Structure 1
């Protein structure tokens, strides 16, 4: 069951950390902010995919470390553990899903499907991490692991596609 959150007590546009945490405003979507946030991540991740693997991984590492800070700051300022509008974790999780994936529309779509599936369903241990780890680490960690699960699913999808 979805949690009800009161209107935002602050403007996300007043602090750069809030702007990033809310995915440049995509997290303000009244319906499915995580999905909208992941959609907003597509062009950013696609641009990062234009680099070779090592710079791409460095971008993801920096985005993860920045995410721990901006998600923590925003959650503290909102006084809510993981406000649904905080979607920087979706940007990073989706990026992880596309590590070493081909630069194709099919890969972007396949990664979107698998990442959203794991992020929404939260199978073990993702659900445990979401419930037990708090602060910026907690907000980021469940989506990082969902991205890892989705990465495996994308890689297996490509492997099966090649076999058949």
Structure 2
């Protein structure tokens, strides 16, 4: 076992959330939803912090198996969901949170275009990248919706 393995497991599972069943990725995404109350800049910072911490943690836990993407690793979902939340305006309501959650999860599950390409990468970067891209695309879609429908109560 490598040094820091316990801490790496705690980060990768987001404090054990990744062990919840069913749908650990949805639980990991839901865990960061309250961050939207802190505003878009805080969500962006959280997404970047989780991405960096996730790269470190996943690198530690993968060991020699560089092709693995364990389902209980959910820090990648947390990072992607936080990035999607960063596109919501300060004071966004439940509709905004639900839309950010649904868009991110849909992109994470369906893996269109660049999200699918990223999922086929190996190692810690491959594990993190598909969710970060799904979060970024969800954020762009939310920003486009806000621009097209400024009266929409997000």
- In the superposition, the TM-score normalised over structure 1's length comes to 0.78
Map 1:101-112 → 2, pairs under 5 A: 101-102=88-89, 103-104=91-92, 105-112=94-101
Q: Judge conservation of contact 1:89–1:139 (CA < 8 Å) in 2.
A: yes
141-150 vs 95-104, which moves further: 95-104
Instruction: Return the match for 1:36 from 16, 23, 27.
Output: 27
- Give the aligned length: 147
Pick from 122, 126, 141: which aligns with 1:138? 126
User: Match for residue 13 of structure 2?
Assistant: 22
Taking a change above 3 Å as real, the CA distance of residues 128 and 30 of structure 1, as seen in their structure-2 partners, is same
Q: Which runs of 5+ in 1 are unaligned?
A: 1-9
Cα deviation for residue 157 of structure 1 reads: 2.4
What residue number does 1:73 align with?
Answer: 60
Distance 1:56 1:94, change over 3 A: closer
1:118 corresponds to which residue?
107
Q: Deviations over 1:29-87 (max 9, x none)?
A: 231111111112223x33xx52563x554443232111111122223388861101100
How much is the aligned-residue C-alpha RMSD, in angstroms? 2.5
Give yes or no for the alignment of 1:61 onto 2:48. Answer: yes
Which shifted more, 139-148 or 95-104? 95-104
Compute the TM-score of the two structures, normalised by the length of structure 2. 0.82
Check 1:143–1:128 CA distance in 2 against 1; reply closer, same or farther (3 A cut). same
Flag structure 2 segments of 5+ consecutive residues without an equivalent.
none
